Amino acid sequence: MDSVALMDRHDTKYVLNRHDFELMLPELSSEYRVLDVNGNRVSKYVSQYFDSSNFEFYRLHQTGKKNRVKIRIRRYVESNINFLEVKLKNNKGRTIKHRMPVGELRSVLTSHDIAFIREHGELDFDLHSALMNSFSRITLVHKIKPERLTFDLELAFKNSSGCNLEIPNLVIAELKQEKFDRSSLFPSRMKVNLLRPETISKYCLGLALLESNVKKNEIKQKIKKLSTLTDQNLISKLMSA
């Protein structure tokens, strides 16, 4: 894992349903090893996201802003550690992540947190608790290439008003590479299965499904597709939020 930290990387995301994922996973064992944390090969993550009062980070993502940022505190449950993370997406499509350890998962940022955020990303407004999500992750590391592959399962969301939603049959796969390599096994398997890369954000997905006062036109088609994949009527949830 140390050799594939990839804090400056190219990300490629895919969405698939749980059944197809479970069929495909054994096919990857020839080229990938699985991360084991204290005897657990499925790790639990909990993330608290922060945004402005009018959800500026969400808006920039939905309008296709090339240089954008997400701010979160993430708890790595099995490792019993927490990081404040500043995740930048630049205009070359690369993801650059800065993080520092913090003592706990919390919904209010300290002055030390704000100083770290300002050091690594522009911040012209106050940040507030916006969304909490949790998921289980399986992490694969390529045996030869500098490449990591994660699968996020059992997604659950809770907004600052206490509204919550679970999407148990959705799997979000993310391929993390120094630069996109189409010859790698996983994108080749996705192509065979007619699954194209998706620009999907767990933060934006959860916020759109739970918040009534955010624009949803840009994400509506994606949620229609997710409804088909998961056999869950997410469109009705989107419209009622």
pLDDT tens for the chain, residues 1 to 241 = 555 555 567 888 999 999 999 999 999 999 999 998 888 899 999 999 999 999 999 999 988 887 889 999 999 998 899 999 999 988 887 888 999 999 999 999 999 999 999 999 777 789 999 999 999 999 999 998 888 999 999 999 999 999 999 999 999 999 988 877 777 889 888 888 888 899 899 999 999 999 998 999 989 999 999 999 999 999 999 988 8
Residue 42 domain-assigned (yes or no): yes
Residue 2 domain-assigned (yes or no): no
Which domain CATH number covers 17? 2.40.320.10
pTM for the full predicted model: 0.91
Q: What's the pLDDT at 2?
A: 56
Residue 1 domain-assigned (yes or no): no
Domain count, the chain: 1
Q: What's the pLDDT at 163?
A: 94
Q: What's the pLDDT at 191?
A: 87
Do 38 and 78 contact (CB within 8 A), yes or no?
Answer: yes
Q: What's the pLDDT at 4?
A: 54
Residue 54 domain-assigned (yes or no): yes
Residue 73 domain-assigned (yes or no): yes
Residue 21 domain-assigned (yes or no): yes
Closest to 122 (Cα-Cα) out of 57, 54, 72, 64: 57
Q: Is 143 exposed, middle or buried (0-12, 13-18, 19+ CB in 10 A)?
A: exposed
| Domain with 26 in it | 7-235
Residue 140 domain-assigned (yes or no): yes
